[in-house]
């Protein structure tokens, strides 16, 4: 029971080859167009020659009754407490037992050192933290590779192992905005990215290559698929309290070796202190880095005094429960005359997103889980009576959409306010240097 990521991984590493279990279905929700498919036989293994059906999450009770299901495994990577309770209650009321596979059962072991970057909520700033870590490693001569959380939106059999080393490869093999958002900035900085559906196969291919360190770039607020030697968890104080009210984000906070409390420049001191106190109380052993999320744009003069339409990262402002993101912060910082409310101009699937996620403010979520949704997003942008579009999305939407207005891109980078990621990385490399010939050469 999941959303096309953690659920497939759990099946692969735990259930696939166990004859004592029969997995009768996956249920999927949160993301459109990932149900009504088959988990293919090539991935499901010899016990499942016909593959495994993937149904809508709304069919849970029907499937439990029809198939005589004894146990439902909850395998989501981004829930708040209320959503968690709702799903568990549905499972139990349907007559099945409830289970979560734990960290020990689902983390793969690697022969190479691993740094994992996770978060307590989606949109907390994992990507900026990961890019910072990658740059620090490269500056020290370390050969690194990034492994991303799965984006199972296409042909699953063809996506078993994915490797991207250029924007051209990304354009050739991906088709959703969500994939491009997570891979593009790494590629632009010359970093190879692996992803896929079968992460044991992904990991074994990486281990055959001459990389020194693997960097796990987590998705949503899931815990890592690969057991880390250094676990960094990002906390977002703009959603205070969520650090202990999300699943499995709270698991990441409890496991973290380092906690980065990001966006300290956006919240007031009282809120920041409250979050820091909670973090220290629940994980007193973790080192804490307080950081600012610095927002800049490529053409600030275009924003001042103008009517702007703000487009934000889709998952962060939908199931991540953010009212706005970096785009809105940039619009205010550079003195936009007006932030245009996109809701009256939304069409099709975008209109339905606003109906489902009523907390969203005067921003447009960049939803692109397929061609139809991208078309609706394009039409909504072009209908809005704005002078300029402010893109707070990680990817440049103007490369994929026909936008009839000038576009300004927002960049956001992590800057430490208290504590140093560089010193943490230096200590980590010194600790593992003796285990890797490549690292010994790079460091000494």
Q: Tell me the CATH architecture of domain 106-293+415-443.
A: 3-Layer(aba) Sandwich (3.40)
Residues pairing with 310 in the sheet:
390
Cα–Cα dist 115/436, whole Å = 15
The whole model's pTM is what? Answer: 0.89
Q: Among the listed ranges 6-20, 28-42, 191-205, 429-443, which one has the minimum average pLDDT value?
A: 429-443
Could you read off the pLDDT of 322-353 as tens digits, one per residue?
888 889 999 999 999 999 999 999 999 899 98
By DSSP bridging, strand 193-196 and strand 144-148 are: parallel
Indicate if the pLDDT at residue 434 is higher than 90.
no
Higher pLDDT, 224 or 411: 224
**In which band, very low, low, confident or very high, does the pLDDT at 439 lie, cut at 50, 70 and 90?**
low
**Residue 137's pLDDT band (boundaries 50, 70, 90)?**
very high
pLDDT tens digits, one per residue of 177-194: 777 778 888 998 999 999
**pLDDT of 419-430, one tens digit each?**
999 999 999 999
Domain map of the chain by residue range? 6-105, 106-293+415-443, 297-412
Looking at residue 444, its pLDDT comes to 38
| Predicted confidence (pLDDT) at residue 113 exceeds the cutoff of 90 | yes
Q: Check whether 235 has a pLDDT greater than 80.
A: yes
What local confidence, expressed as pLDDT, does residue 443 receive? 46
User: What DSSP line would sit under 290-307, residue for residue?
Assistant: EEEEEEEES-GGGTBTSE
Q: Residue 87: is its pLDDT beyond 50?
A: yes
- What is the pLDDT, as a whole number, of residue 298? 85
Token pair, residue 351, equals 């209109």
DSSP result, 208-224: TS--SEEEEE--TTPPP
**pLDDT of 440:** 44
SS3 state at 25: coil
- 27-77 pLDDT, tens digit per residue, is 988 666 667 899 999 999 999 999 999 999 999 999 999 999 999 999 998
Cα–Cα distance for residue pair 65/229, rounded to 1 Å: 43
pLDDT tens digit string along 293-306?
A: 998 998 889 999 99
SS3 421: helix
Give, for 115, the enclosing helix (H) or strand (E).
strand 114-119
Residue with the bigger pLDDT between 435 and 124: it is 124
Query: Of 444 and 123, which is predicted with more confidence?
Result: 123
User: What integer pLDDT is reported at residue 33 of this predicted model?
Assistant: 65
Please report, rounded to a whole number, the percentage of residues in the chain having pLDDT higher than 90: 74
Q: What mean pLDDT do residues 126-152 have?
A: 94
**Number of residues that make up the chain:** 444
* Phi, psi (rounded to 5 degrees) for 72: -115, 130
For the chain, the average pLDDT equals: 91
Q: Supply the pLDDT for residue 30.
A: 66
pLDDT surpassing 90 at residue 85: yes
Candidate from 33-37, 245-249, 287-291, 297-301 with smallest mean pLDDT: 33-37
């Amino acid at each position: 029971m999941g959303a096309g990521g953690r659920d497939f991984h759990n099946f692969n590493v735990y259930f696939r080859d166990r004859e004592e279990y029969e997995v009768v279905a996956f249920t999927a929700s949160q993301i459109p167009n990932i149900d009504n498919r088959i988990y293919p036989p090539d991935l499901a293994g010899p016990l499942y020659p016909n593959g495994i059906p993937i149904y809508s999450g709304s069919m849970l009770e029907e499937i439990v009754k029809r198939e005589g299901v004894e146990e439902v495994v909850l395998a989501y990577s981004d829930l708040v407490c209320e959503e968690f309770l709702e799903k568990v209650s549905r499972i139990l009321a349907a007559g099945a037992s409830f289970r979560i596979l734990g960290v020990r059962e689902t983390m793969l072991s690697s022969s190479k050192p691993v740094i994992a970057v996770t978060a307590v909520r989606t949109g907390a700033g994992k990507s900026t933290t990961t890019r910072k870590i990658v740059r620090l490693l490269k500056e020290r001569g370390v050969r690194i590779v990034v492994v991303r959380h799965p984006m199972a939106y296409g042909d699953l059999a063809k996506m078993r192992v994915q490797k991207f080393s250029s924007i051209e490869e990304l354009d050739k093999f991906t088709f959703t905005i969500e994939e491009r958002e997570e891979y593009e900035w790494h590629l632009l900085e010359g970093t190879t990215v692996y992803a896929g559906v079968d992460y044991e196969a992904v990991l074994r291919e990486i281990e055959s290559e001459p990389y020194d360190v693997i960097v796990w770039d987590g998705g949503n607020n899931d815990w890592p698929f690969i057991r880390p030697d250094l676990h960094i968890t990002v906390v977002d104080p703009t959603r205070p309290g969520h650090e202990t009210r999300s699943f499995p984000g709270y698991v990441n906070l409890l496991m973290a070796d380092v906690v980065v409390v990001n966006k300290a420049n956006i919240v007031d001191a009282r809120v920041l202190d409250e979050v820091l106190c909670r973090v220290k109380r629940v994980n007193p052993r973790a080192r804490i880095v307080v950081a600012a999320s610095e927002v800049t744009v490529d053409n600030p003069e275009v924003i001042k005094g103008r009517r702007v339409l703000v487009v934000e990262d889709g998952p962060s402002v939908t199931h991540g429960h953010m009212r706005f993101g970096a785009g809105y912060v940039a619009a205010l910082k550079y003195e936009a005359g007006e932030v245009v409310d996109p809701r009256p101009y939304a069409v099709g699937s975008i209109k339905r997103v606003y109906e489902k996620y009523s907390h969203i403010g005067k921003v447009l979520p960049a939803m692109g889980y397929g061609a139809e949704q991208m078309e609706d997003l394009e039409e909504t942008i072009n209908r809005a009576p704005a002078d300029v579009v402010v893109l707070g999305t990680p990817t440049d939407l103007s490369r994929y959409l026909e936008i009839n207005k000038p576009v300004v891109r927002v960049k956001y980078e992590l800057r430490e306010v208290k504590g140093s990621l560089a010193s943490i990385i230096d200590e980590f490399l010194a600790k593992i240097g003796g285990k890797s010939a490549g690292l010994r050469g790079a460091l000494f």
